[in-house]
Structure 1
Amino acid sequence: MKTILAAYATAPVADDWQPELQSQYLDGVKQLSSIRGIEHPFTGQLHPHDDDWFLRNIDPAWDFVFTGVPGIMGRLGKNPHFGIASDNPEGRAEGVAFYQQMRAAVHKLNAYLGRKAVDFIQLHTSPNRTGSVSSVASLVESLKEIQSWDWDGAELVIEHCDAFVEGAQPEKGFLTLEEEIQAVVEVNRACGCEIGLSINWGRSALETRSVQGPLQHLQAAREAGLLRGFMFSGISDQDTPYGVWRDTHMPPAEIFEGGNFAEGSLLTAEQMKASLEVADWSSLDFLGIKIGVRPQDLGADARVAYNRDALAALDSFTKA
């Protein structure tokens, strides 16, 4: 199985839009032969800065998994009630409208490539419960509408983010996995659709403050018959450049000598192997890597190297 790379999470950081630097980075990503495509961030239009630049610089053979997290987090900063699980009517309506914008971007990308290149849409169950109220009922109503649209071949999954846990500081604070499963089962039954779930290793570890969390979430999603995708991101319980229990997509701990990895990461070789086994990885629709890097001023080539080594680590476990 060729993997999905969330290349945007490792892209060069700059105070302003620098297309030449970003092109250099993507040119390096194109050389990574072990990927089938990329996870693409949606903020309100196909590309945050320049749709035409994006279309010129992607590999036309790539497949795509869309994620709305960057756009959602930006909107939550302005409206804490924003999201498809919101019990606030205006907030929920804005959340649904956001996915209508994403749908238009999917059609634009597919039309440019002349094929149905977008495989999956990852939905997210905002708002953050520390500042708003959300529910299964609100999510069900939103999903019923969203699944009825023409997604031009793309399938829908809810990517589970860290849920609100009493007494813990959340990064996302969205619905629990159990609530998301309940909503998806209800909508699939009522509408005859096949919405699924995807799990991010680091976000599940963050929610549970434990390396057992990802295994528990993978098992629950599998037992519900809904697990479609799995992305590896690391996290740390130590004081590292990536923070303590922060959703910064930390690279794995050292998997092989001489590689680009991150000291203090809880995502070890043992954890990757165990998670792949619980996920029954060969039956997944997509499997991938999503890492950020530190320090922030690393150059484009170094950033590609981190992705190359994380992908090599994953390949070593899935091809063993």
Structure 2
Amino acid sequence: MKYILAAYATAPVTETWQPELQARYLNGIKQLGNIRGIEHPFTGHLHPHDDQWFLENIDPGWDFVFTGVPGIMLRLGDHAAFGIASDDAIGRAEGIAFYRQMREAVLKLNQSLGRKAVDFIQLHTSPNRARAASSTASLIASLEEIQSWDWDGAQLVIEHCDAHIEDAAAEKGFLTLEEEIQAVQSVNQRCGCDIGLSINWGRSALEARSVEGPLSHLRQAREAGLLRGLMFSGVSPEETPYGAWCDTHMPPAPVFAEGHFAETSLLTAEQIAKSLEVADWRRLDFLGIKIGVRPRELNAEERVAYNRDALAALDMCTERELSGVI
């Protein structure tokens, strides 16, 4: 089994752009034999600092899953009504324009690699409802337009983020999964398209404040016939360097001795196995890992090691699930 790795979430954090350091990290990621490709962050350009550097340093054989979360969060800081689910006309138009820019980046990457290397586009249903109004109707209108564009073979999925819940502090505060399912089903039926859903384990656990959250979301998306992808991120209810109930992509809890893990993470081997079973993981279009690391001062090699061990943990769980051990 080969996975999608959100390598950007573990990349070295520096005050200024340091291409040599980033290349050293990415070269380490290239040595991981069980990845099929990476989840790639879009902020407005193909690469936040240097498109050509990116094209020269990626593995040309990788597949790509684009995510707009980093760019969306930046824009929400300037305009609270930004997003494709926004009831504000300007905010929704800006959200659509953002994905039009992403499409150009997808075409540039595919053209450079000489193939349709981008498999999936993860859409997100901003804005945060605590700061601006949003609705299923607005999302439907946006999806109808976005799906009409030529994405050069890439399929659209909504990645569910933690929803706005009354009297609870949300990290993202976007639409509920039920609303996203309703919107996707409506657009698929009206337009004859095949938009799907993807689940991030940590974000669903954060929303529910429980390990039952991811299982419930996976079950709902699967029963709706829309589940396409599952990315594993951890989360903790305890105050840790990753925060308590924060969307910081905490690594899994220890799965094997001397690995690079996070002690209080709710993402245990047992929870990975349960989620794989509920997701019917062998039918998924993509499966992977998205982790951050603490402390931020970790060097490039240590950052690669965290990804290596998280992927090894996922390998162990899929192998055991196949053999019926778990």
Same fold (TM over 0.5): yes
Residue 236 of structure 2 corresponds to which residue in structure 1?
A: 236
C-alpha distance after superposition, 1:27-62 (max 9, x if no partner): 000000000000000000100000000000000000
Is the counterpart of residue 18 in structure 1 residue 22 in structure 2?
Answer: no
Q: How far apart are residue 319 of structure 1 and its match?
A: 2.1
Q: State the SS of the aligned residue for 2:119.
A: strand
Q: State the SS of the aligned residue for 2:165.
A: coil
Residue 146 of structure 1 corresponds to which residue in structure 2?
A: 146
Q: State the SS of the aligned residue for 2:121.
A: strand
Residue 171 of structure 2 corresponds to which residue in structure 1?
A: 171
Residue 3 of structure 1 corresponds to which residue in structure 2?
A: 3
For residues 174-185 of structure 1, the aligned pairs below 5 Å read 174-185=174-185
Q: How far apart are residue 93 of structure 1 and its match?
A: 0.1
Residue 51 of structure 1 corresponds to which residue in structure 2?
A: 51
Residue 266 of structure 2 corresponds to which residue in structure 1?
A: 266
Q: State the SS of the aligned residue for 1:319.
A: helix
Residue 191 of structure 1 corresponds to which residue in structure 2?
A: 191
Q: How far apart are residue 252 of structure 1 and its match?
A: 0.2
Show structure 2 runs of 5+ residues with no match: 321-326
Q: State the SS of the aligned residue for 2:220.
A: helix
Is the counterpart of residue 300 in structure 1 residue 300 in structure 2?
Answer: yes
Matched AA of 2:198: S
Residue 162 of structure 1 corresponds to which residue in structure 2?
A: 162
Residue 284 of structure 1 corresponds to which residue in structure 2?
A: 284
Inter-partner Cα distance in structure 2 for 1:37 and 1:223: 27
TM-score, structure 2 as length reference: 0.98
Matched AA of 2:278: V
Q: How many residues align?
A: 320
Is the counterpart of residue 313 in structure 1 residue 316 in structure 2?
Answer: no
Inter-partner Cα distance in structure 1 for 2:24 and 2:190: 47
Root-mean-square deviation (CA, aligned residues, Å) is: 0.4
Inter-partner Cα distance in structure 1 for 2:198 and 2:11: 23
Instruction: State the percentage of identical aligned residues.
Output: 75
Inter-partner Cα distance in structure 2 for 1:46 and 1:130: 30
C-alpha distance after superposition, 1:103-150 (max 9, x if no partner): 000000000000000000000000000100000000000000000000
Q: How far apart are residue 239 of structure 1 and its match?
A: 1.1
Residue 128 of structure 1 corresponds to which residue in structure 2?
A: 128
Residue 97 of structure 2 corresponds to which residue in structure 1?
A: 97
Show structure 1 runs of 5+ residues with no match: none
Inter-partner Cα distance in structure 1 for 2:312 and 2:214: 21
Matched AA of 1:69: V
Inter-partner Cα distance in structure 2 for 1:136 and 1:212: 25
Residue 324 of structure 2 corresponds to which residue in structure 1?
A: none
Inter-partner Cα distance in structure 2 for 1:168 and 1:290: 25
Residue 41 of structure 2 corresponds to which residue in structure 1?
A: 41
Moved over 6 A (4+): none
Residue 107 of structure 1 corresponds to which residue in structure 2?
A: 107
C-alpha distance after superposition, 1:235-275 (max 9, x if no partner): 00001100000000000000001100001000001100000
